[in-house]
Amino acid sequence: MSDDLPAGPTADKAGLRRELLARRRQRSDTDRWRDAAQLAADLPGLLSALGADPSRPLCLYVPVRHEPGAAPDGSTPLLDAAVSLGRRVLLPVTVGAGPGEETGPLDWATFHDRGDLAPGPHGLLEPSGRRLGPDAVADAAVVVVPALAASPTGVRLGRGGGHYDRTLPLVGRATVVVALVGDDELRESLPAEPHDVPVDAVWRPTAGLLRTAGTP
Ligand SMILES: Nc1nc2c(c(=O)[nH]1)N(C=O)[C@@H](CNc1ccc(C(=O)N[C@@H](CCC(=O)O)C(=O)O)cc1)CN2
Ligand SMILES: Nc1ncnc2c1ncn2[C@@H]1O[C@H](COP(=O)(O)OP(=O)(O)OP(=O)(O)O)[C@@H](O)[C@H]1O
């Protein structure tokens, strides 16, 4: 590492992100298929373990490229599983990705099927339907959050956009926040900054669900 980089959690996060993304890119299509199928199959058990109220929505996201849950053919097994359970599914719309735009909390729109998705910033797929506003997250039973790594105490390392850090303070008291990471992405400790919002649980394709320290 170069001597003129700032020391501390911000610099530590940048180095870790590079390492974790490089590892993800090495995952084979076979492993990615297995993870996507496993997560979809485990969703009912996850929701019942978390006591997720069926009348309240689930905030998910569309995993892309090498994110856990992304199927190599671009299908959406986890989202489809949620819909087939009769759950209302909300997906994030990135706010502030355009030039000169200020990053804000994520907006949300409903997912019914793949036809609702359109290309978004950073090569993402985002819902193209009516936007419900950032406060839609407040009513969610569960918010599944993308992460590059997470720790047993609930520290989560994101991509560095600060989108979820601005969004998670809006969730309701009854909402369970779950970080979705790969099986090798649970790290004993991770750099944390004051704005980082801890997650209540960590979900991994094979290892399953881990409630983080400090949650009831
Ligand atoms: N699937 C998914 N959806 C998501 C997120 C996410 O991490 N994954 N986000 C999480 O906040 C929000 C959007 N923010 C994001 C910021 C950067 C990248 C990303 O892939 N960056 C690449 C560089 C790609 C590029 O800009 O060309 C990278 O980190 O390598 C993705 C999402 C909301 N939706
Ligand atoms: N609540 C907030 N209000 C304003 N700025 C914030 C907030 N949370 C994070 N930021 C800023 O966003 C930037 C990215 O933060 P950080 O590196 O923690 O992102 P991340 O957690 O990896 O991203 P994400 O939340 O999208 O997954 C930092 O410059 C940070 O200061």
- Closest by CA to 32, choosing from 68, 76, 60, is 68
Q: 32 C-alpha to center of ligand 2: Å?
A: 28
How many whole angstroms from its chain centre is CA 87? 18
The predicted model gives 161-185 an average pLDDT of 97
Closest residue to atom 23 of ligand 1, CA basis: 122
Going by pLDDT thresholds of 50, 70 and 90, the confidence category of residue 4 is low
Per-residue pLDDT reduced to its tens digit, 109-134? 999 999 999 999 999 999 999 999 99
What is the number of the ligand closest to the CA of 162? 2
State the pTM of this model.
0.95
65 in Cβ contact with 148 (< 8 Å):
no
Q: 46 C-alpha to center of ligand 1: Å?
A: 24
Full set of structural domains in the chain with CATH:
54-176+187-211 (3.40.50.10420)
Per-residue pLDDT reduced to its tens digit, 60-107? 999 999 999 999 999 999 999 999 999 999 999 999 888 889 999 999
**And the tokens for 104?**
């804000």
The predicted model gives 25-48 an average pLDDT of 98
105 Cβ closer than 6 Å to some ligand 1 atom? no
Q: 188 C-alpha to center of ligand 1: Å?
A: 24
